């Protein structure tokens, strides 16, 4: 059996109903955030949305921003900036690890 290096937080295993219960958000709102490209569930062969714990955290962050009066397009911009920072930091860590033969 091949090793799966995906963190448990990033495994897409929960349905929209479970996510709704965990977050307190309606399924309609969760779908709306997907339409606005704020969240990216996977789809099964039959079209069922699957979410991860990371998605739960992102949805809670989105809900907090909405509650503070921030528009979805502004949230999307901020999430993109955050993602770019994380990718840049990951790249820098990789370069440092390669340069100094370090491990995590």
d(C-alpha 15, C-alpha 3), whole Å: 24
pLDDT tens for each residue of 35-81: 999 999 999 999 999 999 999 999 999 999 999 999 999 999 998 99
pLDDT band (50, 70, 90) for residue 12: very high
Q: Is the sign of the CA dihedral 47, 38, 9, 88 positive or negative?
A: positive
Q: DSSP of 51-104, one letter per residue?
A: B-HHHHHHHHHHHHHHHTT--HHHHHHHHHHHHHHHHHHHHHHHHHHHHHT---
Residue ranges covered by each domain of the chain: 10-100
pTM of the model as a whole: 0.75
Please determine, looking at this structure, whether the domain spanning 10-100 carries the CATH number 3.40.47.10. no
């Amino acid at each position: 059996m091949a090793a799966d290096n995906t963190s448990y937080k990033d495994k897409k295993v929960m349905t929209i109903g479970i996510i709704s219960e965990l977050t307190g958000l309606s399924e309609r709102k969760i779908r709306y955030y997907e339409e606005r490209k704020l969240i990216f569930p996977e789809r099964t062969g039959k079209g069922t949305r699957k979410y991860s714990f990371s998605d739960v955290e992102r949805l809670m962050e989105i809900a907090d921003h909405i509650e503070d009066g921030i528009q979805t397009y502004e949230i999307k911009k901020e999430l993109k900036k955050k993602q770019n920072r994380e990718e840049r930091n990951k790249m820098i860590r990789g370069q440092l690890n390669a340069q100094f033969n370090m491990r995590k």
